[in-house]
Structure 1
Amino acid sequence: MQIGRGGSRPRPQPAGPWLPNYSYILLLLLTAQLGDCFLTNYRGISADGFGICPADMRNCSCRSYTGSESEIDCPETDPTIQLRIEPRQYAELKCQRNRRYDFDQIPQLAIGATKRLTIDDCPFPRHQSILQFVSFLGTAQVQLLWLKNNANHEQSASLVRRHFEGLEALDRLAISNAKLTELRADLFEPLANLTWLDMRDNLFELPVTIFDALPRLRILELSFNSMEQLEPRLLRNLPNLRLLSLWHNKLRGLSRDVFAGVPLLERLDLSANQLETLPGDVFAPLTKLSELALGFNHFRTLPERLFRSNKELRKLKLAFQRVELESLPGDLLQQLPALEQVILERNALSTLPATLLFGSANVTELHLAGNRLRELPEDLLRDQRALRELKLQNNQLVTLPDGLLRNTGELRTLHLSHNQLELLSAALLRSLNKLEELYLDHNQLQTIDQRAFQSTGALRILHLQANQLTFQTFSALPTRLDTALDADYTVGAVAGVAAGAAGPGPASDEFGIFVQDGTPFQYMHALRELDLSDNFLTSVPRDLLVNTHELQRLNLTRNNITSLTYSSLQFLAADITVDLRHNSIFEIDLADMERLARLETVRAATEGSEGEDVPTPTTRARILLNDNPLNCNCIVFTFAQYMQHRLNSSALYERVQLVADTLACEGPEHLHGMLIRDVPPRELLCELDSPTTAIRHCPDGCSCQIRPDDSGVIVNCNGLGLSEVPALPRPTSFGYRFIELHVENNNISRLPETGAAARGWNDVHELYASNNSIDRLRLEQLPAGLRVLDLTRNRLTALDGPVTEALASRADVLLALRLAHNDWTCQCDASQFLAFAHANARRIDDFARLQCADGRQLDQTTLGDLCSDRTGSIVLACVLVSIGACLVALLSFVYYTYHLELKVWLFKHGLCLWLVAEEELDRDKLYDAFVSYSHKDEAFITEHLVPTLERPPMSFRICWHVRDWTPGEMISSQISSSVEASRRTIIVLSSNFLESLWGQLEFRTAHLQSMAERRNRLIIVIYGDIGNIDDLEPELRAYLHTNTYVRWGDPWFWDKVRFAMPHPPKVRGSGGTAGGASGPGVVKSGVSTAGGLFMKQLQQTGDDKLELIKPAVPATPPALTTPPTEPNGAPHPAAPFTISTGIPMANGTGNGGHRIISAPYRTINGGHVNGAFMINTNAKQSDV
């Protein structure tokens, strides 16, 4: 275990009522001087530290640290004794509890004089002094000795005089938690120079003469013991004692002369005892007493003139009595000129004598909180001209005398919260021109006089929350200063209005911002924090906007504010936060926000042009608006624009920050729960006329709403049984642009005409008149700005020509037209309407539902259908054209379906060759086709495909890699050359081909060439089962899905192949020998006719294309041998060979243009061709 700082310090005990003033402060100083005893977290070992580790450490370890600190553990492993030393500063010895100790194992040290010696958890020696006990330290002088937890061992001896021998120079001694149950009177005789003695937490009884040997003692700490009485003789020989702490003992009483021997005592702590009374002159000897703590006792009464001799008393704490101390003597604190702090909190006091503090004029703090005071005498503070803090919270005060604070002009802080005050008069605070903090929260305040704060211009913090305040203000105020009327503004109760004192009349500027409205806040120019939460305010007091320039925090939560306007949020204070959450705000009208911003900009520009310096507005208000029941109607339109960042003025966002990120609509029902930042602006509507409107604009029986989003007025006369359209209001007369008229489900047969007498009809832009009796629409009935026209379910039969022309000409204005469910006449004379309907089908929303009176669909009716009386020739011509079109369509269908078979049949029989002859674009190509296949399908190639294609009647020139490729060249280059030199590429598509890498390369090369030339050069021959086409490689799968192919086994197989091959202007006949195979058929074995194929059944050893890479030319063609089988033992398909005719060609070709392979034989020579190059004979085509 490592000993560390913070491991053992004197346990901080509550110092009782006065501990923060003297005894506890001294204990803190002691703790600071003693330091932290043992470190648990090392700061790191210093190799060359300034430690005192000796050379001979015996069985101990010694470590030095940065600075001069060292630590010694004995023994080195599992130490029972630990030392921590800093020369000339301290030495700390700690023993491990419940262990056996061998102090002889500690090496001899020489630390010399030290300021502090701490012995922690070590037993007191039985036959030695403490100095001898720690002689291994080599210390001679100690200033402070701290003995801690020394009675926790059975080996420990009782503390006796012998233990302190040799410590005559000791200045301070602390003995804590040593359980000193019995002490001898001569215990401290060797310590005559002791000035400080701490004997806390020891549970002992003191001999009456134990301190007689300590005449120089100045501080005596005896708290947290179990002392039941204090003998008079105990303190008689301590003439220099300055501080005595008896906190937390069991003292029940004090004798009259118990303090007679300590005339210089300055600080006395008797808190947390069981004292019930005191002798009247018990403190008489203490003429130097300055601080006294008597809290946490059982006092029921106190004697009069208890402190008459203590003229130097400065601080008195008489608080937290455990019984009811109902009253105090009238002269208890009189005539104490040095008295500064009086703490009488939580004593259950119900009354106070008016004379309590008479003559004590220097009191600066008076704490009376937590009592049962219902009233205070008016003269209680008569002489308290120096008072700076008064605490009266948590009492039962109902009223306060107006003259209570008349002489407390130095008061800075006044606590009156948690009482029952109902009225704050104008006179109570009249003298407090230096008051900075006032706490009036949690009362029952209903009325605050208008002039209550007239004299408190220095007030910075005002708490008025949890009261019953409401500030009644005028609902309409003049907008010009020169027309303002003098009026008294009333600050009244919730249930009524209390008369307010006369004051200056309201004033405002041209923007409607009022200078004052008669609230008490008009005088608070220095106010920084105001809490008005949990009251009954219905609006934001306007005085807070312009008269509180320093206001930083305004709390208005949980009031009855129902609406806000932009003017009610124009605070002149810089960087103010206004909390309006949890109110009843359902309207936020910011309609004049942009207008006021523009006016301010214009005014600033005007004043700037006149040479005046116009300061740039730096104010910024942060308004918290969440948790309110917002009604999402047109009133909140600008607010919604603000929240949706649709306002153009960036200055508005800089000046006012509205925090409403979670504010949702309470109504209307269809918007309930939707966040205001998400509400579509078009959904924000208001009634045109309110119930109290004197002049109504809306037609009788109709409902009218305004929509700020597009400045529209919605007039809804739906289902009222109207026979005509009612007179409509002029929207421009009240700031709107157009009318959206709903007259559905009525009996209207005729629409009004436009003109000067039509009033609002001219402003109708959207007309919804479905399900009426309108039988005709005339041009003069169409408003000029009409954008939407709904005439469904009426009696219209046709639209006049002028009407259709007008509707057609308004294509850029008319957005929607609905005409369904009318009895449209489908006759020739209605052709103009039919033409209009077809031409404007996109704008007629229900065009597909337009029907003729006879049930025909209008979108399927043509002009010919309407005008059925045309001449017979026209009819006959139409019939013939129709028949011809059908024949063409039929022939086209047949040709499209069977075009391939048709062309093959024509080609086969030599008919209409102009349909199938190929262009002469490829006349210079060497081959007609290049055959791509898998070597595993060699038998099909050699026995069927190549012989048939090369012999008459086809006589095509085939490029076959076995015969025509040049040995030694790169395979990929030869594939590309073969494809380019051939007019077609025949792909023998089989399951083996799909596994061949070279086959896929050949397919891609041919496919890319076809795509590049935009000509189909691929012929796909499906050989065998290739599985599901959809499972093939994507490029091949796409080709097979979009092109035709030939399958081996098809009866038309050779005809289709021949048709897919190049078509010369004249089809090759049976006598042609164009460089291909000749003869009647394919030779199965032996040698064919000259120029044909020579085939030999050989065992294939791998992909035959690989054998063409740089093969060695043998000097003498070896004899044919039987090649080895493949690893699986299956014989390889027969491989064909082409032999030379013996006629050399200059260009490397012969026999009809075929390239001739110089070495026509495959030779297996131990894996070598003539020993020159090694070939992997087991390689598969798919392995390459």
Structure 2
Amino acid sequence: MKASRGPRPLVLTAALTLALLAHTGHAFLAGYRSGLGLDGFGICPAEMRNCSCRSYTGAETEIDCPEADSTVHLRIEPHQYAEMRCQRNRRYDFEQIPQLSIGDTNRLTIDDCPFPHHQSILQLVSFLGTTQVKVLWLKNNANHEQSASLVRHHFAGLDQLDRLAISNAKLSDIGPDLFEHLPNLTWLDMRDNIFRLPATIFDALPKLRVLELSFNSLEELDPRLLRHLPNLRLLTLWHNKLRTLSRAAFTGMPELERLDLSSNQLESVPGDLFADLPHLTELAMGVNNFRTLPDGLFRANRELRKVKLASQRVELETLPHDLLQMLPVLDQVSLERVGLVSLPGTLLFGSANLTQLNLANNQLHQLPEDLLRDQKALQVLQLQHNQLTGLPAGLLRNTVELHTLRLSHNQIGELSAVALQALTKLQELYLDHNQLHTIELHAFKQTTALHTLHLQVNQLAFETLNTLPATAPDTGDQEQLTDHIPAPDEFSLLAQDGTPFQHLHQLRELDLSSNWLTAVPRDLLLNTHELQRLNLTRNNITSLTYANLQFLAPAITVDLRHNSIFEIDLADMERLVLLEPRNFDEQTGRARILLNDNPLHCNCIAYAFAQYIQNRLATAVYDRFELVANELTCHGPEHLEGALIKDVPTRELLCELDTPSTAIRHCPAPCRCYIRPEDTGVIIDCSGQALTEVPELPRPTTFGYRFIELHLENNNISALPDSTTASGSSGWAEVRELYASNNSIAALAADQLPRSLRLLDLSRNRLTALDGPLAESLTASTTLTTVRLAHNDWTCQCETTQLLTFAHANQRRIEDFGRLRCSDGRPLEQMTLSDLCVDRTHVIVLTCVIVSVVACLVAALSLVYYTYKLELKVWLFKHGLCLWLVAEEELDRDKLYDAFVSYSHKDEAFITEHLVPTLERDPMNFKLCWHVRDWTPGEMISSQISSSVEQSRRTIIVLSSSFLESLWGQLEFRTAHLQSMAERRNRLIIIIYGDIGNIYDLEPELRAYLHTNTYVRWGDPWFWDKLRFAMPHPPKVRGASGTASTVVKSGVSTAGGLFMKQLQGAAPVDDRLELIKPQVTPATPPALTTPPTEPISSATPAPGPFVISGNGGGVGGAGAQLLHQQLSNAYRASGHINGAFVINSNAKQSDV
């Protein structure tokens, strides 16, 4: 506990300290602002009138006046700056702005606000409370018609102003005294639409150091305009309309260092134009109309460092020979886009400190060899977009500091070994978009620091990179170069030296796209350890092997897209990668090869490549390389054309066994042979060649393969060769898959099949039987997995049972088992041995004897039966024998009803809506005894129950929970049960309706009956079918005939049914004694999903004899008396007495 309390005092102390500091800082800031006249919002006064004031960011504050629809917007940071922006075309009332006190400010900006006519700028912004401004920007006041033109009194009080910028201001009439109140101004920017300046306007600005007069429309410079600016350092006259200049225009500015005359209309200048500018360091004269320049133009400007003459509107063609001579500190020269055709060799003599020279985008055909004689400090040389055909051998001999050389978009045809030999510090070389076809072997021997080399869009070919000697043939003709045959010593040089890239150990980026290369230069694999990107797109590379991809650079990206690669052979890649020592740094990355957009031929050569793309190789391979080919499609063979290589089944990658250059041919004529690396199989396709015998097959093991897949479909072959007698050179024994469908093979022996056969297709031949040895051989084979035998002339006789036995025992092997047919069309799938091997003579004799005996017996019995029919039935029935011979209709001929329905009044809805209507109408047409309709009022209920049971062929008990509570229902069950036992016939049908609870809780008699007899359950999908079957079955099936064929007699149809009569005015009642009670119709329980009908227990007692007599043996005599004796006092308490219905008030309602 003590340890857990330790840090708490420290935390509390720190929190209190921070709170105290925050409070103290807030108080200090509030006091500071209060001392400045500021409130908590910054500079906002307590009374803001009609303006809004809010803090912006940090120390900045924004004010809008008026608040609702602002016309003036202020943004202020005290002592730093204040900006005022007005809304155009609005009426301004600066008096609405509250009085502020921001003190002296460094910068004041007035944007889009009109100048007052009789006030100074300080008076205009007097509400700011500032007296001095260092920097003033006046912008866009010319947009207001009511604005005054800028004049001298506007600058009154700004004598300490240091910088002034005026853009798009209203200067319709500029006075020569405009700047008299600004004696300390050092920086002036006047731009946008100034056409003329008074000659003495700058005389009041002796301290001016920077003068910006760009984006105006000045056409001339008055010699007096700049005469009194002794401290001027920068003069910008860019984007004016000056046509001529004189030396006098620049007199009086001895300290000028930077001068910009670009974007004017100058066509020529005098040679002494800059003679009075000895300290000039930067000069820009681009975008003019110079056709010539005078000699000695910069002779007096020995401090000149940068000269820009770029982008002339007309072609300058050439330059004076001494234009840039003897400028000891000259650093940068830009002569881009000036139309130069030639250059004098002495142009740069004496200017030894030049570091950047831009001669791009001209029309130079050649360069003087001494042009760069003195430029030892040159670092960047830009010669792109000219018409150079080559570089003089000594042009770059002294440029030892050169690190960037741009020669793109020229017509250079070859690069000699001496052209770059002095450039030991060269880092970037751009030779793209030339006509380069030759690079001498040691052209890059001295440029070992080179890290970027662009050679795209040239005519470089693999042969030229590998076979040229140290001094290339003197030819500019590509055809002669291609026809050049290297001498033996040249090949030895190649073996020793490699390609021109062998010395570029620090190369990081090489672009060789759009050339004529046919392979990846080997030196790029072995010597360029730092190479990060190699672009070989749009070349003529046709094939790749694993050797072409073994780059030592660990994280290189090689782009091989848009080549002619039709073959990628990586057969040994996985094995070699697994053998390589894992000495590369996995964190630096892996080689990434881009291969999309190539016309790949998907054959066996691409097998290993397809395995890689489909992620089926070892993980180490993917750690070493990333081959990007997600969009690479097959350009052949025809059946795979257009398929993505990642989706092609590798089993379909095949190659022809023999090629036109094969010396020893293995493929038999006229077959076509292929090899498949997926399973090292040889496919020999002889299908459709009208062959009559199997040709001599090669042995695949002799040339590195394991087995043969032989296709002989659609020929006229009548027999297969014998594998035991085949010659030693034959490959028949090495056939594993034999496709011989649609031939004329009529017989087959076991010794004709190769032992290692795994697929046998003999469908559509003339086979009639399988002999025993063949069937045993096929069954015992451990390699055979697939057999096809359909569409043959199979003979199905007792002598040919081997076929049937084999077919049924090898159903899993026989692929077309379901289509096997005998010659007579019988399916073997449904045949057994007994269908084939039957002794027909014995069968016929035995059948005739049996039929004769049976006929005699039937005739004798029929004669006896029809002679003594009545006596026989009576005797049999009296003794209870063969009662099944006595038709039930004969026993029940005099019964009035088909069934008596017993149920509880609570189940009335089920009876009236389902049971009675369905049984009494088509197609059943049964006649039911329904107490609501058929009982006679006034009679004893027990008598009517006995009478209804006795007069009905069946008694239907609707057994429900309500029925179990009804004493009359139980009486009806016992009556029907006793009658069934007396007649030894099952006349009781029980329908379980709803949930009756646990059957073991029922009374013993009912529970015993349910255990030993079948019953039906409401909700069973077969309910009506089962109920109809349990009902009486007369000779004529009930419901078989329609209403037209039914003869109605006393309400009973000939089919044993009845016409249901609608009770008029009679309410449904139950329990026989409840005719006087109000009726309550219960809801019908939902149909239940029940198990099938329970079977009758084997313990069911056999039905006893049924005797038709009046001696009291039936239910109507002694049976009825027995039933009445079993009634309890509760039953006898209610009933009919002398025609009156008496109810015992002591009886329970459930018993009534």
- Alignment TM-score, normalising by the size of structure 2: 0.74
Q: CA deviation at 1:466?
A: 1.1
* 1:761 corresponding residue in structure 2: 732
Cα 1:63/1:615, change in 2 over 3 Å:
closer
Q: CA deviation at 1:284?
A: 1.2
* 2:666 corresponding residue in structure 1: 697
Q: CA deviation at 1:805?
A: 1.7
* 2:892 corresponding residue in structure 1: none
* 2:75 corresponding residue in structure 1: 84
Q: CA deviation at 1:147?
A: 1.4
| Larger displacement relative to structure 2 (560-569 or 62-71) | 62-71
Task: Give the match's secondary structure for 2:708.
Answer: strand
* 1:311 corresponding residue in structure 2: 302
Q: Is the 8 A contact 2:760 2:788 kept in 1?
A: yes
1:593, 1:413 → 2: CA distance? 40
Structural mapping, 1:43-122, within 5 Å: 49=40, 51-122=42-113
Cα 1:862/1:489, change in 2 over 3 Å:
farther
* 2:553 corresponding residue in structure 1: 573
Describe the superposition over 1:898-947 as per-residue Cα deviations: whole angstroms up to 9, x where unpaired: xxxxxxxx99997778999xxxxxxxxxx998897244857976537997
Aligned counterpart for 1:150 among listed residues 117, 136, 141? 141
1:558, 1:463 → 2: CA distance? 14
Q: CA deviation at 1:1149?
A: 16
Residue 696 of structure 2 is aligned to residue 727 of structure 1: yes
* 1:583 corresponding residue in structure 2: 563
| Larger displacement relative to structure 2 (575-584 or 346-355) | 575-584
Letter in 2 for 1:791: L
Aligned counterpart for 2:1021 among listed residues 1017, 1038, 1059? 1038
Aligned counterpart for 1:131 among listed residues 109, 122, 126? 122
Q: Is the 8 A contact 2:960 2:995 kept in 1?
A: no
Letter in 2 for 1:769: A
Q: CA deviation at 1:300?
A: 0.5
Task: Give the match's secondary structure for 2:673.
Answer: strand
Q: CA deviation at 1:827?
A: 5.3
Letter in 2 for 1:148: K
Cα 1:643/1:1037, change in 2 over 3 Å:
farther
Q: Is the 8 A contact 1:699 1:726 kept in 2?
A: yes
Aligned counterpart for 1:712 among listed residues 681, 705, 708? 681
Describe the superposition over 1:767-794 as per-residue Cα deviations: whole angstroms up to 9, x where unpaired: 2334445444333322111122233455
2:93, 2:735 → 1: CA distance? 110
Task: Give the match's secondary structure for 1:1096.
Answer: helix
Residue 623 of structure 2 is aligned to residue 651 of structure 1: no
| Larger displacement relative to structure 2 (537-546 or 793-802) | 793-802
Q: Is the 8 A contact 1:84 1:92 kept in 2?
A: yes
2:601, 2:881 → 1: CA distance? 87
1:260, 1:499 → 2: CA distance? 70
Q: Is the 8 A contact 2:43 2:61 kept in 1?
A: yes
Q: CA deviation at 1:280?
A: 0.4
* 2:160 corresponding residue in structure 1: 169
Task: Give the match's secondary structure for 2:651.
Answer: helix
1:1157, 1:731 → 2: CA distance? 110
Q: Is the 8 A contact 1:529 1:551 kept in 2?
A: yes
Letter in 1 for 2:555: D
Task: Give the match's secondary structure for 1:496.
Answer: helix
Letter in 2 for 1:814: L
Letter in 1 for 2:374: D
Q: CA deviation at 1:341?
A: 0.7
* 2:173 corresponding residue in structure 1: 182
Structural mapping, 1:230-379, within 5 Å: 230-379=221-370
Task: Give the match's secondary structure for 1:408.
Answer: coil
Q: CA deviation at 1:1038?
A: 2.8
Describe the superposition over 1:635-659 as per-residue Cα deviations: whole angstroms up to 9, x where unpaired: 1111112222222x01111211111
Task: Give the match's secondary structure for 2:579.
Answer: helix
Letter in 2 for 1:965: E
Letter in 1 for 2:932: E
CA RMSD, Structure 1 to Structure 2 (Å): 4.6
2:632, 2:847 → 1: CA distance? 70
Residue 733 of structure 2 is aligned to residue 738 of structure 1: no
1:537, 1:220 → 2: CA distance? 58
Task: Give the match's secondary structure for 1:933.
Answer: helix
Residue 532 of structure 2 is aligned to residue 552 of structure 1: yes
Aligned counterpart for 1:933 among listed residues 903, 907, 921? 907
Identity percentage of aligned residues: 60
- Alignment TM-score, normalising by the size of structure 1: 0.72
Q: Is the 8 A contact 2:598 2:632 kept in 1?
A: yes
Q: Is the 8 A contact 1:288 1:312 kept in 2?
A: yes
Task: Give the match's secondary structure for 1:757.
Answer: coil
Aligned counterpart for 1:621 among listed residues 591, 603, 615? 591
* 2:788 corresponding residue in structure 1: 818
| Larger displacement relative to structure 2 (834-843 or 50-59) | 834-843
Cα 1:312/1:882, change in 2 over 3 Å:
farther
| Larger displacement relative to structure 2 (217-226 or 584-593) | 584-593
1:1157, 1:377 → 2: CA distance? 144
Q: CA deviation at 1:729?
A: 1.3
2:547, 2:431 → 1: CA distance? 29
1:682, 1:1052 → 2: CA distance? 71
Letter in 2 for 1:392: L
Residue 506 of structure 2 is aligned to residue 526 of structure 1: yes
* 2:1078 corresponding residue in structure 1: 1099
Describe the superposition over 1:265-321 as per-residue Cα deviations: whole angstroms up to 9, x where unpaired: 011110000011111011111111111110110000001111111111111110000
Describe the superposition over 1:15-63 as per-residue Cα deviations: whole angstroms up to 9, x where unpaired: xxxxxxxxxxxxxxxxxxxxxxxxxxxxxxxx97452222333333333
Aligned counterpart for 1:464 among listed residues 443, 455, 460? 455
Q: CA deviation at 1:727?
A: 2.1
Q: CA deviation at 1:963?
A: 7.4
1:355, 1:319 → 2: CA distance? 20
Describe the superposition over 1:720-746 as per-residue Cα deviations: whole angstroms up to 9, x where unpaired: 444432221111122211011223444
* 2:1119 corresponding residue in structure 1: none
Q: CA deviation at 1:221?
A: 0.6
1:232, 1:422 → 2: CA distance? 54
Q: Is the 8 A contact 1:451 1:501 kept in 2?
A: no
1:416, 1:1055 → 2: CA distance? 110
| Larger displacement relative to structure 2 (819-828 or 555-564) | 819-828
| Larger displacement relative to structure 2 (73-82 or 411-420) | 73-82
1:234, 1:274 → 2: CA distance? 20
Q: CA deviation at 1:849?
A: 5.5
* 1:806 corresponding residue in structure 2: 777
Task: Give the match's secondary structure for 1:635.
Answer: helix
Q: CA deviation at 1:335?
A: 0.8
Cα 1:347/1:1014, change in 2 over 3 Å:
farther
* 2:1103 corresponding residue in structure 1: none
Q: CA deviation at 1:1104?
A: 9.2
Q: Is the 8 A contact 1:931 1:985 kept in 2?
A: no
Task: Give the match's secondary structure for 1:118.
Answer: strand
Structural mapping, 1:884-963, within 5 Å: 933-935=907-909, 937=911, 942-943=931-932, 951=946, 954=949
Q: Which has the higher helix share?
A: 2
Instruction: Mark the runs of 5 or more structure 1 residues left unpaired by the alignment.
Output: 1-46, 476-484, 508-513, 605-612, 887-905, 917-926, 968-982, 989-998, 1022-1035, 1057-1081, 1107-1139, 1151-1155, 1163-1184
Cα 1:1157/1:488, change in 2 over 3 Å:
farther
1:329, 1:129 → 2: CA distance? 54
1:197, 1:323 → 2: CA distance? 33
Q: CA deviation at 1:363?
A: 1.0
1:242, 1:460 → 2: CA distance? 41
Q: Is the 8 A contact 1:236 1:260 kept in 2?
A: yes
Q: Is the 8 A contact 1:365 1:388 kept in 2?
A: yes
Q: Is the 8 A contact 2:349 2:374 kept in 1?
A: yes
Q: CA deviation at 1:568?
A: 1.2
* 1:1127 corresponding residue in structure 2: none
Q: Is the 8 A contact 1:931 1:960 kept in 2?
A: no
Task: Give the match's secondary structure for 2:283.
Answer: strand
Q: CA deviation at 1:865?
A: 6.4
| Larger displacement relative to structure 2 (952-961 or 820-829) | 952-961
Structural mapping, 1:1131-1170, within 5 Å: 1143=1129, 1160=1148
* 1:496 corresponding residue in structure 2: 482
Q: Is the 8 A contact 2:64 2:73 kept in 1?
A: yes
